[in-house]
Amino acid sequence: MATVDIRGVRKTYAGLAFETIKGIDCAIADGEFLVMLGPSGCGKSTLLRMVAGLERITSGDIAIDGRVVNELEPKDRNIAMVFQNYALYPHMNVYGNMSYGLRIQKLPKAEIDRRVREAAAILELSDFLFRKPRALSGGQRQRVAMGRAIVREPSVFLFDEPLSNLDAKLRTQMRVEIKRLQQRLGTTSLYVTHDQVEAMTLADRLMVMKDGIAEQIGTPLEVYRNPASVFVAGFIGSPAMNFLPGRVTADGGAVELTGGVRLATQLTGGLAGGEDVTVGVRPEHLAPAANGAAAPSGNEVQVAVDLIEALGADTVVHSRLDGTEDRLLARLPGSVTVTPGMTLTLTVEPGALQLFDKATGRSLSARS
């Protein structure tokens, strides 16, 4: 059990002109499950490897349980790591893989045996203890990698995209297993992934990263409801959020979209009339307007449907904002009948609009 403190951490690789990690601060509480999410090359794995001690920290501090570990070897940090390719020792059987670290610690044989068998039981590996990794399926190998981490009883688990080599079905299954395991063991965990569904479901808190910067740190719902930037808003949620160019009206009570449609919003307080903004609205926050609705109520848009994806429970509607080239995606209940070519009136759920600074991409919610 431990806390992890990341304080002003920066990383520049030798020979590279730019910083890979540009100053990240994050305090991870004891027992917390923090997921670092971001696209390839955003520095999330580098940050994890710095916590593990596999990469040197250029500046800043990383402390585990209050003790700065910058200069400590990986083995002295009391961490365990699960690698993307599992990194199982191919010449050792499952038992050998799981007990390797314990044998190095020179634990008594009986204790090693107890821990390995206990972990194997939890992970349903008891029948495979004396098989070599190559005789195991992908999911089983993944569990051995987890087992190797568990038996060491570390204070922090580090996961480096542990599920990305599995097929979709197995990934969903293992995701649940990891979550259950972490809740059971209560071990502080840092988890790196580029899969937003994995991140949302596993995380107590999310760190959304881009270009070596933590764009936002918060609970999955906070990040979903109040994304700090266009990047975060677009990265979290599927299908992705719609972004439309807009302008704050003179009275400041609404935004005007390209086609002249006005949408009422509370968020513009403090914004000068006429200011250009990016308007964000999630596909799931659009609903078909009731038939024969009265005059535009300030939360309706007309769209021209050009493609539909019927998923059964939902129907994803691809459309254009009437009279413009701005694209709009809507996720409607499967019961609604929509056909390509028709014009549809959609209602925006009140309070669902997000406004972003057009220049910086930062959320304007904070300003109001």
Partner 1 sequence: MQKRVTFNSRTLPYLLVAPQILITLLFFIWPAIQAVGQSFQREDPFGLRTAFVWFDNYIRLFGDPFYYHSIQITLVFSLLVTLLSMGVALFLATMADRVIRGATGYKTLLIAPYAIAPVIAGVLWLFMFQPTIGIVAYMLDQLGYDWNYHVHGNEAMMLVILAAAWKQISYNFLFFLAGLQAIPKSLIEAAAIDGASPTRRFWTIIFPLLSPTTFFLLVVNIVYAFFDTFGIIDAVTSGGPGSPGATNILVYKVYSDGFVGLDLGGSSAQSVVLMIIVIALTVVQFRYIERRVHY
**CB of residue 143 to partner 1, shortest distance in Å:** 15
Which one, 149 or 174, has the nearer CB to partner 1? 149
Q: Which one, 152 or 282, has the nearer CB to partner 1?
A: 152
Closer of 157 and 231 to partner 1 (Cβ) = 157
Q: Which CB atom, from 92 or from 287, has the smaller least distance to partner 1?
A: 92
Question: Least distance to partner 1 from the beta carbon of 54, Å?
Answer: 5
Minimum gap (Å) between residue 83 Cβ and partner 1: 5
Alpha-helical (H) ranges within the chain are 44-52, 94-104, 109-122, 138-151, 168-185, 196-202, 220-225, 230-235
SS (H, E, C) the chain: CCCEEEEEEEECCCCCCCCCEEEEEEEECCCCEEEEECCCCCCHHHHHHHHHCCCCCCEEEEEECCEECCCCCHHHCCEEEECCCCCCCCCCCHHHHHHHHHHHCCCCHHHHHHHHHHHHHHCCCHHHCCCCHHHCCHHHHHHHHHHHHHHCCCCEEEEECCCCCCCHHHHHHHHHHHHHHHHHHCCEEEEEECCHHHHHHHCCEEEEEECCEEEEEECHHHHHHCCCEHHHHHHCCCCCCEEEEEEECCCCCEEEECCCCEEECCCCCCCCCCCEEEEEECHHHEEECCCCCCCCCCCEEEEEEEEEEECCCEEEEEEEECCCCCEEEEEEECCCCCCCCCEEEEEECCCCCEEEECCCCEECHHHC
Q: Which is nearer to partner 1, 4 or 81 (CB)?
A: 81
Nearer to partner 1, 75 or 114 (CB): 75
Choose between 130 and 368: whose C-beta lies nearer to partner 1: 130
**CA distance linking residue 228 with residue 360, whole number of Å:** 11
Residues forming contacts to partner 1 in the complex (CB under 8 A) are: 52-54, 73-75, 79-81, 83-85, 87, 89-91, 100-101, 104-105, 134, 148, 152
Nearest residue (CB) to partner 1, 26 versus 54: 54
Minimal distance, residue 158 CB to partner 1, in Å: 9
Query: Rounded CA gap, 364 and 269, in Å?
Result: 10
Asked whether the bond before 162 is cis by omega within 30 degrees of 0, the reply is no
Please say which residue, 71 or 325, places its beta carbon nearer to partner 1: 71
Least gap, CB of 87 to partner 1 (angstroms): 4
CB of 49 to partner 1, least distance (A): 8
Q: How far is the CB of 44 from partner 1 (least distance, A)?
A: 16
AA identity, residue 367: R
Least distance in angstroms from the C-beta of 145 to partner 1: 9
CB of 102 to partner 1, least distance (A): 9
